[in-house]
Amino acid sequence: MKGFMLRNNSLLQLTVFATLLLICWNIENIAGLGLNYKKWRHAALNAKFIFINFIPEGIMGIMFIKVIGWTGVNHFGLLYHLPYMHHALPNFIMTFILLDLGEYIYHFLMHKFKRLWMFHAVHHCDTVVDVSTTLREHPCENLIRNGFTLIWIFLSGTVLWALVLRQLLQLASNLFAHMNYRLPEKVDSILGILFITPNLHHVHHHYKQPYTDCNYGDVLSIWDRMFGTFCKLPAEKVVFGLDVYSNQNENQHYYPLLKIPFGEYKAPGDVSVPEGIVSVS
């Protein structure tokens, strides 16, 4: 199983992604929030980011393999010094926990440093959150995110098969969290104890602070609970987008989106709902 995953990593990720995207897309069609938007046009815009991100993804994929090879040869990293890490299950569980904590730290920092935030704002200024929003990542943020992952891999001593499996679960979780769908509150109250749900991630995509600066978790919600960044908001009060990037010519067209991080920093403000920004209710 491990050998198959390593030999067919790219094909496996593409197959899982396409399958889950199709499933989530149809759930949105059947039981979505009923937002009045042109879904195919919205998806086409966000899908453009896939192609420009092929290059940074390829570069960082090579770096992952080289770093994992070095840490493996030298037995460098936390996981090589913990008991029972030669067994697959405890190794994967610890890998998953450490990398998920790393993703929380990365996400928190992207919100706290102005220039990093401007790259991340490209993802946040989407005025409709659905599965295609998962694709909406500036190529420079793609490099930054994978750069942080590279650091966590180096420090933890992650092995390649565990990284591949973790990435597949992360992919599934991210698609699920961005769905244009909300779980019943009772279900969400249970799942949300451990995991980031669409209900929780929708709050993170609310158009202004302090809600934008909460629910940073990638797969697990426990980090937000531990570090005081957990927040809930009723569905009828969630509004997607960003108050400072509400210009439709800027946040709904591809090339203006790519230029956002290189423009003037816009501090979040306490404003009314800007024109073009959509409530989920």
What DSSP string describes 23-38? HHHHHHHHHS----S-
Contacts for 9-16 with beta carbons within 8 Å, 24 or more apart?
Answer: 9/164, 12/164, 12/168, 13/164, 13/167, 13/168, 13/171, 16/168, 16/171, 16/172
What's the confidence (pLDDT) of residue 280? 56
Which ranges in 125-253 belong to alpha helices (H)? 139-156, 160-177, 185-191, 198-204, 222-227, 248-251
Average pLDDT score over the chain: 89
- Report the amino acid identity of residue 162: A
For residue 163, what are its two tokens? 């990284």
Asked if 180 and 129 touch (Cβ cutoff 8 Å), the reply is yes
What's the confidence (pLDDT) of residue 98? 98
- Report the amino acid identity of residue 208: K
Name the residue with tokens 């569980």: 93
Query: What is the 8-class DSSP label of residue 158?
Result: -
What's the confidence (pLDDT) of residue 269? 62
Q: What counts of helices (H) and strands (E) characterise the chain? A: 13, 0
What's the confidence (pLDDT) of residue 157? 97
What's the confidence (pLDDT) of residue 4? 53
What's the confidence (pLDDT) of residue 248? 66
Single pTM value for the model: 0.90
What's the confidence (pLDDT) of residue 8? 56
What's the confidence (pLDDT) of residue 7? 53
Q: Which residues of the chain register pLDDT less than 70?
A: 1-11, 34, 248-249, 269-281
Asked if 119 and 65 touch (Cβ cutoff 8 Å), the reply is no
